[in-house]
Amino acid sequence: MTKKQKPSPLTWAQLLSMTPQEPPDPARKPIALPAVPFKVERTAEQRAEMAMDDASGGYPYGGYLGGQTVAGQLNFGLYFPGYPYLAELAQRSEYRQPVETLAKEMTRQWITFKSKGGGDKEEKIAKIEEAFERHNVQALFRKVTELDGFYGLGMIFIKIKGHKELNNPLVIDSRSIEKDSLEGFNTIEPMWITPLVWNSIDPTIPTFYNPQQWVVLGQTIHSSRLLKFISREVPDIIKPAYNFGGISLTQLIDPYVQRWLKTVDSVNRLINNFSIITLATDMSAILQGGGPEVYAGLLDRMRLFSKHRDNQGIFLHDKMNEELSQVAVSLAGLAELQAQSLEHMAYPTHEPLVVLTGVTPSGLNATSEGEIDVWHNWVHSMQEQFYRPNLERVMRIVELDLFGAIDDDITFDFEQLKEVDGEALARIRKSDAEAASVYIQDGVVDAQEERERLAKDPDSGYVNLDVNKVIEPPALEGNDDEEADSVAKASDA
């Protein structure tokens, strides 16, 4: 009878090989770059050209891969990154949110047409308002504001019926724009536009570094047929590099967003690895330069522990010759650092943090009312500077299309951005009623004119008031005929 042999003890390497492997994380897979369908070879002279198509390993403008840009980190955005890169930024919420927020806020309340005082223009104004709605002007201006925020340049094309030679100027006159000739307006992204002709010789005339003709996918169009929107002009010396556009909002906030993303990633990694396990053991054999067989078991032991390290795992060590301890990093202050990085990202957008992110201020009696008022004032100034010149051109073109002539007495105002709540609106109505009563008693206006004002005011509460209905004044209180006669005589006198 043979003696039963005892099984040999398992080594750390065998235990490690028996440990079930975790499935690979798909988020950590390397990015598969598209293969070039043809072989590209360049000489040393060709690599030195200014096209920069071979810079940073084949990536233009310093290279962009996985949300990191080499040139952007070194130069903090002091370059034109190109429309493809700016289009990639538009896919991230940190870049898209401020652009869309500004565009929606600038077109939220829109405009109100009015007469300067040259007679009754209600019928004309009603037709202009209907034409603006039919041509969807409000949505076009919101879209072109987004293009300016994403690319630094936005264009609206004016399409006139019968105009075939688009390289000829478009004159805002009845001889150029006939009645019922307006077909509509279209927004054009700057990627499809290239400047063709501009003056670079005489800076004393308006056409200096201002292209007069543009090429839109091979078609030459005169600048007067395009409404150009640029909210952030660049100096003349770099206008050609920017395709004669401006600096996009996404380019301005790019360095701040990069810092924010790094901060969020660092905080996340610190939270996941805020503690370190240390094992005090005999390291003399390893420190004396032993071979792989000396420290192979120790390394396998460490790898096995790392794979199972969590609150449910157990680490065994020698009670007499080893000591196990934990070194933890304090997580205090991480929330404040991350909040400050978020605030810095909002600085170049001019948007309060509560508008940009929806995060309300903390603390007793904390409010964002003052910041909201400043934000509304800034948006209104942007409307006047960014919208008014092109809106006036659109209004004149619509007038020529509707009436065959331009009425200089018709203009428009931007509506108030701040919405009044119920209590404040009640106080305004009471104040208006008291003022109207005084005006009627003093003979400034009559009751019929006040009824018409109430019917036109959308906040009066009497929008559907019938202005043609005659209201008899209330009778005097009391039955004393003598008192009534005296009042009548006093009125006649």
Q: For the chain, what is the total number of helices (H) and then of strands (E)?
A: 17, 12
475: phi then psi, degrees, rounded to nearest 5: -70, 155
Residue 231 is predicted with a pLDDT of 94
Report DSSP state, residue 159: E
Pick left, alpha or beta for residue 384 (phi over 0 → left; psi -120 to 50 → alpha; otherwise beta): alpha
CA distances 313 to 274, 306, 310, Å, are 17, 10, 5
**Kind and range of the H or E element at 266?**
helix 249-272
Contact between 101 and 357 (Cβ < 8 Å):
no
For 446, phi then psi, to 5°, come to: -105, 175
Domain ranges of the chain: 41-71, 80-248+375-419, 256-369, 422-476
DSSP one-letter code for 82: -
- In what helix (H) or strand (E) does residue 146 lie, and over which residues does it extend? helix 137-151
**pLDDT value, residue 23:** 56
**pLDDT of the residue at 16:** 59
Note whether 185 and 140 are within 8 A (CB). Answer: yes
| pLDDT < 70 stretches in the chain | 1-77, 118-119, 273-274, 285-295, 311, 359-368, 420-425, 458-461, 463-467, 469-493
Tell me what pLDDT residue 280 has. Answer: 80
Q: Is 416 left (phi over 0), alpha (psi -120 to 50) or beta?
A: beta
pTM, whole model, 2 decimals? 0.68
Q: Determine the angle formed by the axes of helices 122-134 and 388-403, rounding to 10 degrees.
A: 110
Cα distances (Å, whole numbers) of residue 81 to 174, 209, 231? 43, 21, 18
Residue 402 is which amino acid?
Answer: L
Residue 204 and residue 189: Cα distance in Å, rounded?
30
Question: Who contacts 217 (Cβ-Cβ below 8 Å, separation ≥6)?
Answer: 192
